[in-house]
Chains A and B, each alone.
Chain A
Amino acid sequence: MAYKPQYGPGTSIVAANRRKQMDPTHKLEKVRDVTDEDIVLILGHRAPGSAYPTAHPPLAEQQEPDCPIRKIVAPTEGAKAGDRVRYIQFADSMFNAPSQPYQRTYAEMYRFRGIDPGTLSGRQIVECRERDLEQYSKLLIETEMFEPSLVSCRGATVHGHSLRLAEDGMMFDMLQRCILGADGIVRYVKDQIGEPLDREVAVGKPMGDEWVKAHSTIFHSLVGVAYRDDAEYIEYIQRIHALRTKYGFMPKE
């Protein structure tokens, strides 16, 4: 019998949104356009238009060992070219940012190849070959997984996910890498590590309370859906815990 992923339990909109983001057959809604050059600027790893620095020669030009795994796994474009491994890191506000750390990791693991995600409470990082990263980053920033005021790209000094919002609705960032303009558009003035950019990078307008609530992947009893109200989700967690307690990691019922 073929394995059919379930992507997680729950009857709430939060649970449904989580499943949609994880399911690679679901096409994520594109809500903004950010050019390839702008993505490169936000990432801050190389100058736009410059060649990709390499960590090793292209695979086609080097002797590959006789390895059965290499015969099974096709290399990504970045791996083929010998790109460096670089990163993008997101901070997601707990006030209904459309993706959240573990959710990002789960979604990326289903949707991307050749990645190494790391998940913390205030940030989530994903590392991979540089040209693959730029492609993945574009998807992560242009689609419903991003919201300009509640999600931001932060290489370091990520503090802000759990704080109240600023009066203009922006998530706190002590480096103020992106700012909300008088025209209602959020623009990056610094790259993700905090280096000032030569020109601003626009990432669109905040989506508004109604949109973020409808696209939320975090339970929140004040600004969204209360965890307690998704009984199926709670029951599922209790079941997992009880099975692990009784049977370790070989659960049986």
Chain B
Amino acid sequence: MGKIERSQKLFLNALKEKFQGEDPESVKTAFYNFNGVRQSPRKREFMAEAKGIEMKRGISMYDPEHCHLGGIPMGQRQLMTYQVSGTDVFVEGDDLHFVNNSAMQQMWDDIRRTVIVGMDLAHATLQKRLGKEVTPETINEYLHILNHAMPGAAVVQEHMVETHPGLVDDCFVKVFTGDDEMADGIEPQFLIDIEKLFPADKAEVLKKQVGKSMYQAIHIPTIVSRTCDGGTTSRWSAMQIGMSFIAAYRMCAGEAAVADLSFAAKHAGVIQMASHLPARRARGPNEPGGIKFGLFSDIIQADRTHPKDPAKASLEVVGAGTMLFDQIWLGSYMSGGVGFTQYATAAYTDNILDEFTYYGMDYIKDKYGVDYTHPDPAKIVKPTQEVVNDIASEVNLNAMEQYEQYPTMMEDHFGGSQRAGVMAAACGLSCSIATGNSNAGLNGWYLSMLMHKEGWSRLGFFGYDLQDQCGSANSLSMEPDRGLMGELRGPNYPNYAMNVGHQGEYAAIVGAAHYGRGDAYSFQPLVKITFADPSLKFDFAEPRREFAKGAIREFMPAGERSLIIPAR
């Protein structure tokens, strides 16, 4: 442990822009002179819009100057803008609430509406049970029919209702395989080309994992999964798969053998993005609480596009993860209201976590010779307690000192939960990338929490008393009910199920262990391949940039209903 020199401060630009005309290192400032809520263009827009709505519907609505604290509106201090980390885009905080951000909605839509379905069993059943020939040509014809049917079109029966293509244009199915010869036979429009999308070394590993098998990456219409739920995805896809096989291979619709095919094609090879939750959570498969952290770090693709920068790859997982797990899962599914956004955005705005993490990268290079720009499993450090203690202590002390030296940054992250999540994430990511071990990363997270609490005599909200003060004891345990390897933990893992400001970072800590080693995937190679597809609405390689586009209203989402509603 020992401070190292790092002159670059990635957060300075944001602080200067947010607190214009003020010294970021100043200790004092002027308050109570900002004209309250009216200082914010977005709040003024809300007020004007609400006035029109009230006139139209005759029911009162947004009225912050009356309803907030009996007539004292927020904005007695400066209502800050935020720079989306890793971009040059400054946005208002309101623009990062998922209701106000179509990119955020689409990210979750694209995960929830996705299911992967293996084709091998279906092909074997077709060949052996039904005596059908399966060739690249028949597969292409099947995929042509499936891309007609999956959005909601009929393929067998007469006089059927169908969906308007303009409402379901985001729905499609592609396939991938590790067999180059088989891949060559698939029409490019239907193929996720592993060779083209991944760096050569990673493509080789992924193809080996897939082998000669073939999988369908299915994305049902956004509008369907929104109207129903994540559990619908496999059902909707199963129905259309069954009908498409019947149509493509000219099968009898009532023959008993088709039941065999139905099971083989529709259900036997299904891979959900999330497992279903216990009854007390009351959620089906493909809902956020069931996404394993290892799988989520495979959904995010920044390690594919930035293989030489595991820190950047991890920070993208933090952004995507805090948005999904904090803002949408805990913040709305499990709780409700608007408060969770403020916790979550701290981890992906103003380049603060980025700076703390890159300090960690400089430290592991300086102290242990781990060059994070050349990920290599042969160059990582053995994950001992001493190494974790050393890295986490230094990264955490540096983060605390930065907050202290730049009071405007402390003011930016004005809540203890924000600071706790960000500092512990930097520690966890640094330990993970240095050691290539996700549990070592989690252990670093918990040392950060203890140090933070003792140093400043505060941590986050009440919940941190539970999760973060007993985390040391479960982060390296593998005993049932006490621990699990990080890749297999998830938002519903005991102790993790209630606390904002943790789950997205945990997912990144898990991913970081693999990005730091240069692995092709963290947990599930099929998921890594599926979300590499550039045809998806949301670009999973750059989630923070996508959120910024959503914030400035430049992101075009799917599932819009403008075709079937009156023009406004």
Say which one of A39-47, A73-81, A130-138, A217-225 lies at the interface with B: A217-225
CB distance from B350 to the nearest CB of A (A): 15
B389 close to chain A: CB less than 8 A: yes
A102 nearest CB neighbor, chain B only:
B457
Inter-chain contact A121/B459, CB cutoff 8 Å: yes
Closest residue on chain A to residue B461 by CB atoms: A120
On whether the beta carbons of B473 and A220 are closer than 8 Å, the reply is no
In the complex, the answer to whether A219 meets B456 with C-beta atoms within 8 Å is yes
Residues 221-245 of A, flagged 1 when their CB comes within 8 A of B and 0 if not, give 1110011100001100110111011
24 contacts between A and B (CB under 8 A): A18-B457, A94-B456, A102-B457, A103-B457, A119-B465, A120-B416, A121-B417, A122-B416, A159-B414, A162-B413, A164-B410, A165-B29, A166-B28, A218-B456, A219-B455, A219-B456, A221-B401, A222-B405, A226-B401, A228-B401, A234-B397, A240-B450, A245-B476, A248-B477
Give 1 or 0 for each of B116-152: 1 = CB within 8 Å of chain A CB: 0000000000000000000000000000000000000
A194 nearest CB neighbor, chain B only: B69
Q: How far is the CA of A172 from the CA of B407 in the complex (A)?
A: 13
Please name all residues of chain B whose beta carbon is closer than 8 Å to the beta carbon of A174 when the two chains form the complex. 69, 72, 74, 76-77
A221 to B404, CA, bound (A): 6
Q: Which of B1-26 contact A (CB under 8 A)?
A: 1, 3, 26
Contacts of B459 in A (CB 8 A): 102, 121
Q: Is A87 an interface residue (CB 8 A)?
A: no
Q: How far is the CB of A157 from chain B (nearest CB, A)?
A: 6
Give chain B's interface residues, CB within 8 Å of chain A.
Answer: 1, 3, 26-32, 69-70, 72, 74, 76-77, 385, 389, 393, 397, 400-401, 404-405, 407-408, 410-411, 413-417, 419-420, 443, 446-447, 450-451, 453-462, 465, 470, 472-473, 475-477, 482
Q: Which A residues are CB-close (under 8 A) to B410?
A: 94, 162-164
Which residues in B have their C-beta under 8 angstroms from that of A223? 27, 404
A245 to B446, CA, bound (A): 10
Q: Is A111 an interface residue (CB 8 A)?
A: no
Q: Identify whether the interface residues of A are mostly helix, strand, loop, or mixed.
A: loop
Which residues of A pack against B, CB within 8 Å?
A: 18, 94-95, 100-103, 118-122, 157, 159, 161-167, 169, 172, 174-176, 194, 217-223, 226-228, 233-234, 237-238, 240-242, 244-246, 248-249
Using CB atoms, name the residue of chain B closest to A176: B32
- Chain A residues contacting B446 (CB-CB under 8 Å) are 241
Q: Are B415 and A220 in contact (CB under 8 A)?
A: no
**Nearest Cβ in chain A — how far from B377, in angstroms?**
24
Nearest-Cβ distance from residue A213 to partner chain B, whole angstroms = 13
With A121-B415, A167-B30, A221-B401 given, name 16 new contacts (CB 8 A).
Answer: A94-B410, A118-B462, A120-B458, A121-B420, A162-B416, A162-B419, A164-B407, A165-B27, A221-B404, A222-B407, A226-B401, A228-B401, A238-B393, A241-B447, A246-B385, A249-B473
A242 to B450, CA, bound (A): 11
B77 to A163, Cβ gap below 8 A?
yes
CB distance from A95 to the nearest CB of B (A): 7
Question: Bound state CA distance, A221 and B400, in angstroms?
Answer: 9
| Candidates B393, B456, B460; contact of A234 at CB < 8 Å | B393
Interface-central residue, B446, B459, B461, B472, by most chain A CB under 10 Å = B472
**Do the beta carbons of A217 and B457 come within 8 Å of each other?**
yes
- Across the interface, name the chain A residue whose C-beta is closest to B19: A164
Please determine whether B472 and A244 come into contact, CB atoms closer than 8 angstroms: yes
Nearest CB on B from A253, distance (A): 13
CB pair A227 B397 closer than 8 Å? yes
Q: In the complex, which of the residues B27, B457, B470, B472 contacts A164, with contact meaning CB atoms closer than 8 Å?
A: B27
Whole-angstrom distance between the Cβ of A111 and the nearest chain B Cβ: 16
A241-B452 Cα distance, complex, nearest whole Å: 13
How many angstroms from the CA of A242 to the CA of B74 in the assembled complex?
A: 44
Measured CB to CB, the nearest residue on chain A to B447 is A241
Q: Are A119 and B3 closer than 8 Å at their CB atoms?
A: no
Are B456 and A241 in touch, CB under 8 angstroms? no
Residue with the highest number of chain B CB atoms closer than 10 Å, among A18, A164, A217, A237: A164
How close is B401's CB to chain A, nearest CB, in angstroms?
5
Within 8 Å by CB of B414, from A119, A163, A245, A246, lies: A163
A162 and B415 form a contact (CB under 8 A): yes
* Known interface pairs A120-B462, A234-B451; A165-B401 also in contact (CB < 8 Å): no
Q: Report Cα–Cα, A249/B477, bound state, in Å.
A: 13
Do residues B28 and A169 form an inter-chain contact, with CB atoms below 8 A?
A: yes
Contact B458 A119 (CB under 8 A): yes
A122 touches B415 (CB 8 A): yes
Distance A246 CA – B450 CA, assembled complex (angstroms): 16
A249 to B475, CA, bound (A): 13
A242/B385 in contact, CB under 8 A: yes
Q: Assess the B457–A244 pair: CB atoms within 8 A.
A: no
* Complex contacts, A166 vs chain B, CB 8 Å: 28-32
Q: Which residue of the partner chain B has the closest CB to A18?
A: B457
The smallest beta-carbon distance between A243 and chain B, in angstroms, is 8
